[in-house]
Chains A and B, each alone.
Chain A
Amino acid sequence: MGAWETLLGQPGLILADGGMGTVLMGLGLQSGGSPELWNVEHPDQVGQVHRGYLQAGSRIILTNTFGCNRLRLGLHHLQDRVVEFSRAGAQLVRKEVEAAGGHAVVAGDIGPSGGILAPLGELEPAQAVDAFAEQAGGLIEGGVDVIWIETLSSLEEMRAAVDGARRASKDIPIVATMTFDTRGRTMMGVTPEQAVRELSTWGLAAIGANCGNGPDEIVDVVQKMRAAAPPEATLVAKANAGVPTLEEGRAVYRAGPEEMAAYAIAVSRAGARIIGACCGSTPRHLEAMAGALKGKLIG
């Protein structure tokens, strides 16, 4: 049995991790810079973020590879380093997980391609599948336990990402979450119900929602997903710590640890089993969430 199945096989809620990019910015990542480059240039800082979440009690740690596909890395002229950064990202998490006792699952993070798929946009689906397969291949080489696709807004692109991951491995578990940030739908107009009806037929390990406009929005989305999902489907929620506002030129996420703790309870009641956070959250937020869910979490 793989690490993912072992984790899910225990009764209880599962704490995932929180934001990466926004934490790295606090550590000196320049805006517009490639966070993935840090997997090889500043591995200590990336490792420090993973360690913070492990100490907070996170049992699923995502690799720092959100934009690690050749289309997005191409914007930084780093398109030929997809596999290198993906592998390094996976190894970094693995090292921290081992050091912390080996109880957490290493999740290979895959974000959107950055393009819009044809015929609506210019990106050919086959090209997207190739890009996702390359990234998933690097992550699997680096030893991830599960592929974690997140922040997608179109089901067509989700299909391409899942197909890419499946090309890289026939049997690795795949988690897929979308972002419902536009009047209760994704930017591309997908409702939570549509997402769940479609994704629950794809043989995925878990499905859900991440990012967006803060905790309240995602609680609503998870409620709708739960109502439309098969009872056995595992749902994931990873909310942003609110919407950022600008104060003296710095991004400030308004939801503090207490608010995220309340969100953790609310979203568990709404039907999410895997609960974490996204942009603007820190290990402090996750600690508060772990505290709020005490007794309900897998130990």
Chain B
Amino acid sequence: MSDELDLTKLETPELIDQMKDDLYDGLADHVVAGVNELLRRKMTPHDVLTKALVAGMDAVGVDFRDGVLFVPEVLMAAKSMKAGMEILRPKLAESGAPQIGTMLVGTVKGDIHDIGKNLVAMMMEGAGFKVVNLGINIDADAFVAAVREHKPAILGLSALLTTTMPYMGIVIKTLADAGLRKDLIVLVGGAPLNAAFAEEIEADAYCRDAAIAVETAKKLISIRRS
């Protein structure tokens, strides 16, 4: 059906709704076509990002959180988001539009689990954040160096093992000792964690899944900025 849809014939609000549906369905080509059409109509790159793409990914995030969507659908949606972002990124940089923020993510030392952290990275990109993915098995000094280099608003720490999760506390303490903790929002996640553990190691929040990570990141950033 949507293959035959002529995007140029839709009113802008309908086009935006159509793009949200296409994003939800993981149709990258359609999302790209929609982005180009909105830009042709002189919508600012920042509005295209927030009103169409980010709003579309919000719906994906909610349904992932609620168990309506699973990892494959989220990956397809995030890929479509990324395809749209490829077009917008250079234009956003030119226009000097405000960035939502940078996030640094990594799996802590001793732990080589990848998938959950990468999902968070994709969802955060989907929400308009610039994401620097440090990878797996990252020690505290490497986190400190990366925070100095990238000056992120948010640091996401991941661990899937009960034996590696305490190392998250060491990372947070090392950041504090280096004087970098105060301005940083630290989110932690991974199967064996819980909120009590996050509190114990003085993280700002525990996030149960990637959708909640996005929600929490946005909430904490807006609290901090206001």
Contact = CB atoms under 8 A, between A and B. Distances in A.
Interface of A: 25, 30-32, 75-76, 114, 116, 120-121, 154, 182-183, 185, 187-189, 243-246, 249-251
A120 B71 CA distance: 9
Contacts of A32: 109-112, 137, 161, 163-164
25 contacts: A25-B163, A31-B161, A31-B164, A32-B111, A32-B161, A32-B163, A32-B164, A75-B112, A75-B136, A114-B115, A120-B72, A120-B75, A120-B76, A182-B67, A183-B67, A187-B70, A188-B70, A188-B71, A244-B162, A245-B162, A245-B192, A246-B165, A246-B197, A250-B163, A251-B162
Nearest to A250: B162
Nearest to A154: B72
Interface string B61-78: 000000101111101100
Interface in B163-210: 163-166, 192, 197
B162 A246 contact: yes
A244 B192 contact: yes
A237 to B, nearest CB: 21
Given A32-B110, A245-B192, A187 B71 contact: yes
Interface in B3-18: none
Nearest to A153: B71
B75 A189 contact: no
B37 interface: no
Contacts of B76: 120
Q: Dominant SS at the A interface? A: loop
Contacts of B71: 116, 120, 187-189
Given A32-B112, A183-B67, A244-B192, A188 B72 contact: yes
Nearest to A187: B71
A114 B164 CA distance: 18
6 smallest beta-carbon distances between A and B, as pairs: A189-B70, A31-B163, A251-B162, A32-B110, A183-B67, A75-B112
B58 interface: no
B114 interface: yes
